[in-house]
């Protein structure tokens, strides 16, 4: 009995590590702001910024004259293309796997990486709620846990080695440090220069506070 139980726990832990979207929101409810649960993907925190950064630039799916009449800047607009609970039948998820001319986001942008696809999948599987969470943790200035996820979801679509907008690559710790030291990253994310970043919408106050804390700590590679 004991060993059965232990292996069941081990399987659960393993699947948590591989990001299997098996855990429904333990706190379901519409339009609620929770403290952040690690297994839940929140619309306002992660999904909307991802669409804003990757789909809403001009000529694509923004507010004014969106391509195919499809605006992806609001919950309602995104829900037009979502079947709650059923990612495999949700257009916004399916198009992420198209290739060639149908690739979304279109070239020269890179296809979304698997972590971002997983976030969209999980959010839809968990019921595609208009949810948000907050616990702004600025106590640890960790690069891998805090800063890199922000850069991956909000910057790398335009600042990868294959698509270095403005000559700025933000692929890893060394490149982010170089952008802080040499390319005005701080002024850009605080929207204090002529290149507010990300261009479409500001980082959240919490993300800015986390960036500031990491920089104040000396930009550790931790
Ligand atoms: C939609 C594409 C896009 C996204 C997303 C984006 N950038 Fe940029 N970025 C650009 C372009 C284009 C330029 C060059 C033109 C300019 O400076 O406005 C640029 C320039 C920059 C520069 C140089 C600014 C300067 O003064 O020369 C920095 C630093 C930068 N981005 C950081 C970031 C960071 C950090 C993020 C994420 C938090 C981000 N960018 C997200 C497109 C983007």
3-class secondary structure, 153: helix
- Cβ burial of 147 (10 Å; 0-12, 13-18, 19+) is buried
> What is the model's pLDDT at position 6?
46
Per-residue pLDDT tens over the stretch 124-162: 999 999 998 877 777 766 899 999 999 999 999 999 999
Which of 168, 194, 211 for mutating ligand 1's site (highest number of atoms within 8 Å of CB)? 168
Which of 58, 73, 153, 159 for mutating ligand 1's site (highest number of atoms within 8 Å of CB)? 159
Per-residue pLDDT tens over the stretch 153-178: 999 999 999 999 999 999 999 999 99
Contacts of 10 (CB under 8 A, 6+ apart): none
Which of 199, 208, 212 for mutating ligand 1's site (highest number of atoms within 8 Å of CB)? 199
Ligand 1 first shell, C-beta below 6 A: 53, 57, 154-155, 157-159, 165-166, 168, 170, 179, 183-185, 188-189, 193, 195, 197-199, 203
Ligand 1 centroid from CA 154, angstroms: 10
Contacts of 76 (CB under 8 A, 6+ apart): none
Q: How confident is the model at residue 29 (pLDDT cuts 50, 70, 90)?
A: very low
Per-residue pLDDT tens over the stretch 59-85: 677 766 677 777 778 899 899 999 999
Specify the pTM.
0.55
């Amino acid at each position: 009995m004991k060993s059965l139980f232990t292996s069941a726990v081990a399987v659960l832990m393993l699947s948590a590590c591989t990001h299997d979207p098996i855990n429904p929101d333990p706190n379901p409810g519409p339009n609620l702001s929770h403290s952040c649960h690690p297994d839940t993907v929140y619309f306002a925190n992660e999904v909307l910024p991802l669409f804003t950064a990757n789909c809403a630039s001009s000529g694509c799916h923004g507010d004014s004259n969106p391509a195919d009449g499809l605006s992806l800047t609001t919950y309602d607009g995104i829900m037009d293309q979502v079947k709650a609970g059923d990612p495999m039948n949700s257009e916004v998820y399916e198009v992420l796997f198209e290739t060639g001319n149908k690739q979304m986001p279109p070239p020269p942008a890179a296809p979304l990486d698997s972590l971002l696809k997983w976030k969209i999948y999980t959010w839809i599987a968990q019921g595609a709620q208009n949810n948000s969470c907050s616990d702004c943790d600025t106590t640890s200035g960790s690069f891998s846990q805090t800063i890199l996820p922000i850069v991956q979801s909000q910057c790398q679509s335009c600042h990868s080695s294959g698509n270095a907008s403005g000559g700025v690559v933000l692929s890893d710790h060394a490149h982010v440090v170089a952008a802080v030291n040499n390319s005005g990253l701080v002024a850009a994310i605080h929207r204090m220069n002529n290149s507010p970043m990300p261009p479409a919408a500001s980082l959240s106050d919490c993300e800015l506070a986390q960036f500031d804390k990491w920089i104040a700590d000396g930009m550790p590679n931790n």
